[in-house]
Chain A
Amino acid sequence: QDVITGKVIDAKTREPLPGATVIVQGTNLATTTDSEGTYRLTVSSPNGKITVSYVGFLAKTIDLANQKKIDVELEPNISMLEDVVVIGYGTAKKSDITGSVASLTEKSFNKGVNVSAEQLIAGKVSGVQIIQNSGEPGGGITVNIRGMGSLNAGNSPLYVVDGFPIDNSTTVSGTGANFTGMRTARNPLNSINPADIASIEVLKDASATAIYGSRGANGVVLITTKRGKEGGLKVNYDTYYGVQNVMNDIDLLSANDYKAVMNSLIDAGAGSANLKIGEFSGGTDWLKRMYHKNAPIKSHNLSFSGGNQSTKYYTSLNYFDQDGLLINSSNKRYSARVNLEHTNKNFTVGTNITSSYVADSYVANGFDLNERAGIIYAAIAYEPTLSIYDQDNNYVLSKNMNIDNPLAIANGKTSTSDLYRTLGNVYGEVKFLTDFSARLNLGADITSQRRDTYVDRQTIEGRANGGIASVLTGTNNSFLSELTLNYKKRFGNQDLNVLFGTTAQQFNANDLTSQGSGFPSDATKTDNLSLGDPTRFIATSSRSRNSLLSYLGRVNYNIAEKYLLTGSLRIDGSSRFGENNKYGVFPSFAFAWRLENEEFIKNAEYITALKLRSSWGQTGNQAIDNYQSLTTYTTGQKAVIGSQQVSTTTPNRVPNPNLKWETSEQLNFGLDFGLWGNRITGSLDWYTKTTRDMLLNLPIPRTTGFTTMMTNIGSVRNSGFEVLINSNNLSGPLSWETTLNMTWMNNKVLNLGGIDNIFTGSAGGTANVAIIKVGLPMYAFYGYTIDGVWQTGDDFTATKDNVKPGDFKYRDLNGDKIVNADDRQVIGNPFPKFMASLTNNFTYKGFNLNVFFDGAWGAKMLNNNLVDTYFPANLLRNRLSEPLLNRWTPSNPSAVYPSFVNPLGQGKKEVNTYTVESADFLRLNTVKLGYDFSIKNSAVKGVGVFVTAQNLAMWTKYKGYDPSINPNGGGVRIDWNAFPTARTILFGLNLNL
């Protein structure tokens, strides 16, 4: 018999672990460590194995191999199977979860610049597609959990911050007169400081989301902010500074190439000889002039936290300041938070409050053309042979196109916004009768915003109107009142947990917009509208309200830690729906089987955890505009009566008193596993989600004077397979951990209520980009197939169209020798078929390295800047260089690129297999290298420094700035005049006191 001793410590903190269990394998021999983390054990054989385990740490098995002293370092259990996970209206142990819930904590959040909460988890959760709409600082983000199921009722998940379901709509949606904006507004979630977030749970299947009823169909994102922990005051200061540059520029014709190409096109008959480009001096790379080189980004975050047994506190201050890659654009945030909780025996009271100020500065850029265009459109089109200024030092104006000077737009059109948001809740919880507790939660979310836009006389439009000033203001607020009752009881080896609740929430919005023009001077901008021409003032305002009243219940039943049953029900009433359908019922059931606790599995040594999950449920979607079930009269088209314009009223819509929510029915099968002492953990999930009674703007006979009626009709199915694997490849001094996420998705329209198809999507002169049709994915690209270019020797009797060598050869699908609208077909899917991400974390001594790759395959995007290249509004507009430099000429009979001599000769077939490009990409998303100094000084607990690179490399064939964005927002993917994506290098410091 030998006596073995040793010490068990936390491999990360080097702190001893008191109470760790040490077991001799195959025996009943066991002990626990003392307060110093040491143990002492008598073993019968010197060659056995011991297993050391501790809650929250990965168990370790060690060969005794005749050793007498064995010190053990335990790695914290990264997969956190035993962690508490936030679920709707409560929490649960991760191992007890029956639904499909992805949980991420601070540790696994994305490194680098995260302006908003979604960016923390972008690419990290299988089944969740998070698309940045553009590279605009603080720009909009599209989040789709398990695909898109709705055409008109929105596809955004419900965000719940510390139990408060927030209204994530924009407060001021307009941009101001004559100011081109992005199609999607900046992200309303920006007002919540990501550094305050402790964890984000993504509820994916119906078992998890049904408790949110009519708002659960698109999934739910639960955001939990940081709390204080027992112990003394902890001060944490994080800061970083970074520079941003364009990740992937687009190549235009240079001044010399432009001159050569245009003159040769004119020689070939593309235009009259007087358009020829003569000598020029210098020229301008307009696009480069739009970029803010080394655009700075900085963040400071300071928090104080701590507490004792009864009271815990966390408070923070944040300053974030990002300049956009395009000149004159920026996003700043100042925020503060206080989270407090006090517990006194059976009573707990707490509050979470955050208040923030977001200051945005915009540059005119977006989906508009010609004299209304933004800077990227203008910079692409403007002749590179021009100088910026004329001899009088005024901005040069192109004589060949009706577009303002790009710098005049950038400097002459200004727009800023100030947004103030306070989000807070107060809660109290009482425990009574041993097994019961009741919780009251009251909250408010109040946002107010003002945007000021001025178009001055440097611009064509400003001159034409004597300056144009717009002031847009708005307020959104929402109030929540929620009472829940919990019953928790253990009967032998069975646990029962029952939740009942009722909740009411009201959303109010109002806005006021004023506009003036004809100012005597540009000096007062938007600060004195009354100086404008009194006959040209325009003012509009509106107010709306909607309410939800709900009853909810949930039962969790756990039998012997083996069989887990969950059932939930929510009854939701919504003011948005018709008189005949105010209330909806949303049930769900789930069953999970923890196989690891079954005898027949227990013997399989390598299986640490194994759980099978199945769930079914129904959720709803009510995210439509207010008043869709009523007929109302609203502002009509102005008429000219007498000698002036008069306001009028118009009937708004055909009423539908039967209007109700969309219903999504979802079936999910999943498997959670942990192998070799949870060294490898993971989840597999398969789901199918069918949305029916879609809220569709059903086209109705246009002879009614209306075009659509909001109707519950049609269905869409999303199905998919999700894989998450987490592996601790190495532990010890050099540790290496890998996380792999994979998602396969499939979207299909099942029924459109008898409508053959719906065309949608437009940008500039490009219309009907996508089709919605039964049997296809939603928003499939629909257009012409290009089979190369007509060559001199081709058989031209094959077509009746007027084509010449060097013209596009469009595929004549129906063989009638004419290529027209009947020859269009599906040419792409806007949704990726497969998405994946791979994260590797290495630590060695004080160093840590995080490398994150992500990618998506199978999706396409319309590159509308390529449309402008192939079908220019006029000859002399500059364009993307590659097609023009390699164009077809008699001496260079390209099979790929046309001659550009008569680009409109066959009409404008904008949506085709050239302009709808593959958006496949693989990206080295983030690399972060950090070093934590080991500090002996007691005043300072930790100092770390890091350098982070974002968007370091992108492998793609896409010809625009970035294939991973969607400047159009929503389902139709269109890239046009996108705000470029940044490659960012950050340097940072963490300080713990």
Chain B
Amino acid sequence: CNDFLKEEVFSQLAPENYLKTKEGLTSVLYETYAKAANMNGNNSIYVLGPQEFVTDILYQSGDNVEATIRNYRDFNWDPNMDFLIQNWDSYYQCVRNANILLENIPGSNLSAAEKTLYEAEARFLRAVSYYKLYFFFGTVPLRTSSSQGLSLPRASEDELKQFIAAELKFSLENLPNPGAEAQKYRAHKAAASGYLIKFYLNTKNWNEASTVSAQFLSSFKTYSLFATYKDMFKVDNENNNEYIWVRPAIASSDRVTANSWSNVSFPDNFKSAPEVGLVFKSTWLNWPNEFRIYDKFYDTFEAADKRRELMITYYINASDQRVELRGSDNIRSFKYWPDPNNVGAAHGNDIPEIRLADILLSRAEALNELNGPSTEALQLVNQVRTRAGLPGLKLENVATKEAFRDMILLERGHEFFNEGHRRMDLIRTGKFISDAQARGKNAQPFQLVFPIPQVVIDSDPVIQQNPNY
């Protein structure tokens, strides 16, 4: 009789045997990658967006999300805002999977080499998740095993920072060299090194940032700046030598790995943009949700700057009228050039997280902070400027550390707009709050971190909210 009541599982897998096999562990590892990439639905833009809505680059209006995004733009942040949880859950799911992998790898049928590799990948993805959580929310609970109690308070600042650095170092040692990974989009040493550089940079550990970036440039020589900035972000050029680590996208009707950027960049009734040679295709979608670049940001570009060519200042609408965008804070960026093989709202443009230009400018910034302007630092910046079609900076024109810091910040803005780096760049250079205040926002110093989502605190009252939220 008890057999009659035994719950038979047909369509799902029981963990006991499944996690002992390579197939099972690989399948869970793949989801760990998906959670780290966080590209489900519109997460492509809502992970990237909060890093720029709060800065001088762009704002959003139109459609149901406007009310939410207005809160980001106006520094009117509260723990119930949308897009906070999108920047929380996926990373803790990544951590959950990584912990399960790390606990099951030792008892599995993987070979010794595979065990080392899978462990390094799991620890890399877990470290990247904590990296993202830390710079978004401040310290967060540090869950490193499935057997920890359900409730878990926030870790100390030191604990979390040491964990991220140590895990990235472990990954750097144990991951394969770039190009030697089993498949594209799986982790490699350069990615771990890149994150380590960015981690040291954003925690203002200039010494380590300088050391690791020097190691990067001497170890991973396969990377080079892509010649034509304008074409780098197109789906066709995803295999370029500049991308070090990306959030991969593939257009599909389920939109689980989608880049949604194009849908929010077309202005109303868009037909064509002669400036960039873009003609609307009937299979593309033009959402009422619109991401708009501030005129002021556009005006900071030098006229010769080729990077500006990814933005349009006017367009031809469906009634063949010319509509100006510049002058009303309505410039559009087509950095993620629409995918000719899109599927509905899903476009396949990978979103770069770390590319060589970032390593170069990060190293330049670390060197400047350590020793002030130097030939080496300027040479790094000038590599990036040259590719953009701009003249190199000269040491005699860069008077002080502060002046050079400002120049690097400006350069980073021009190089990385719409790649989600602006918020951290402004925070690191101490301008995030003052810059927002200068734009008329009621920004306060406590807003260097976002509030922890209210549902997270509701789910575990031992988690303390960030001050003043």
Contacts and interface: CB of A to CB of B under 8 A. Distances in A.
B273 interface: no
A874 B287 CA distance: 11
A765 B289 CA distance: 13
B278 interface: no
B141 to A, nearest CB: 5
Given A369-B64, A651-B15, A701-B460, A549 B92 contact: no
A703 B146 CA distance: 11
Nearest to A573: B5
A402 interface: yes
Given A641-B183, A702-B92, A463 B283 contact: yes
Contacts of A636: 27-28, 30-31, 34
A705 B96 contact: yes
A648 B34 contact: yes
A55 interface: no
Contacts of A764: 64
Contacts of B64: 369, 764-765, 873, 908
Nearest to B460: A701
Interface residues of A, number: 82
A465 B253 contact: yes
A478 interface: no
Given A542-B10, A649-B28, A402 B252 contact: no
Interface in B50-109: 62-68, 70-71, 78, 80, 88-89, 92-97, 100
Contacts of A647: 27, 30
B12 interface: yes
A927 B80 CA distance: 50
Given A517-B253, A640-B250, A641-B185, A549 B344 contact: no
Contacts of B8: 545, 575
A582 interface: yes
B151 interface: yes
Interface in B1-53: 1-2, 4-15, 18-19, 24, 27-28, 30-31, 33-35, 37, 39-40
A369 B65 CA distance: 12
Interface in B182-222: 183-186
Nearest to B319: A399
B151 A701 contact: yes
Interface string B309-334: 00000000111000000000000000
B257 interface: yes
B465 interface: no
A702 B137 CA distance: 14
B459 interface: yes
A28 interface: no
B5 A547 contact: yes
- What is the interface residue range for chain B against chain A? 35 or more
Contact of B92 (A538, A649, A703, A904): A703
Interface in A621-666: 626-627, 629-634, 636-652, 654
A701 B456 CA distance: 7
A75 to B, nearest CB: 53
B299 interface: no
Interface string A541-552: 111111101000
Contacts of B94: 705
Nearest to B62: A874
A802 B100 CA distance: 50
A536 B80 contact: no
Contacts of A399: 268-269, 317-319
B3 to A, nearest CB: 10
A460 B285 contact: yes
Contacts of A642: 183-185
Nearest to B88: A702
A649 B285 contact: no
Given A460-B285, A647-B27, A632 B5 contact: no
Contact of A638 (B34, B68, B458): B34
A652 B14 CA distance: 10
B227 interface: no
A632 B13 contact: yes
A973 B14 CA distance: 38
B164 interface: no
Contacts of B5: 547, 549, 573-575, 582
Contact of B30 (A536, A639, A904): A639
B372 interface: no
A905 to B, nearest CB: 10
Contact of B7 (A629, A640, A648, A705): A629
Contact of B287 (A402, A632, A703): A402
B286 interface: yes
A580 to B, nearest CB: 13
Contacts of B93: 650, 705
Contacts of A904: 66-67, 70
A545 B317 CA distance: 56
B397 interface: no
A177 interface: yes
A549 B455 contact: no
B260 to A, nearest CB: 13
B327 to A, nearest CB: 12
Interface in B239-273: 248-250, 252-254, 256-257, 268-269
Interface string A667-709: 0000000000000000000000000000000011111111100
Contacts of B35: 637
Interface string B142-156: 010000001110000
Contact of A633 (B28, B33, B343, B455): B28
Interface string A451-464: 00000000011011
B352 interface: no
Interface string B444-469: 00000000000110111001000000
Contacts of A504: 4
A652 B12 contact: yes
Contacts of A575: 4-8
A701 B152 contact: yes
Contacts of A820: 78
B371 interface: no
A632 B7 CA distance: 12
B4 A626 contact: no
A872 B342 CA distance: 29
Nearest to A626: B7
A952 B34 CA distance: 56
Nearest to B67: A908
Contacts of A273: none
A541 B8 CA distance: 16
A11 interface: no
Contact of B31 (A517, A544, A639, A756): A639
B44 to A, nearest CB: 12
| 5 shortest interchain CB distances as A-B pairs | A705-B96, A765-B64, A908-B67, A701-B460, A648-B31
Interface of A: 177-178, 369-371, 399-402, 460-461, 463-465, 468, 504, 506, 515, 517, 536, 538, 541-547, 549, 573-576, 582, 626-627, 629-634, 636-652, 654, 699-707, 755-756, 764-765, 768, 820-821, 871, 873-874, 904, 907-908
Given A704-B143, A908-B68, 11 more contacts: A543-B11, A547-B5, A633-B24, A636-B27, A638-B256, A639-B31, A641-B185, A649-B28, A650-B93, A700-B460, A704-B92
29 contacts: A370-B287, A399-B318, A460-B285, A464-B342, A574-B5, A575-B5, A575-B6, A576-B7, A639-B30, A639-B33, A639-B37, A639-B257, A641-B33, A645-B256, A648-B28, A649-B13, A649-B27, A649-B28, A654-B150, A701-B141, A701-B150, A701-B456, A703-B95, A703-B140, A703-B143, A703-B460, A705-B93, A707-B459, A755-B458
Interface of B: 1-2, 4-15, 18-19, 24, 27-28, 30-31, 33-35, 37, 39-40, 62-68, 70-71, 78, 80, 88-89, 92-97, 100, 140-141, 143, 150-152, 183-186, 248-250, 252-254, 256-257, 268-269, 282-288, 317-319, 342-344, 455-456, 458-460, 463
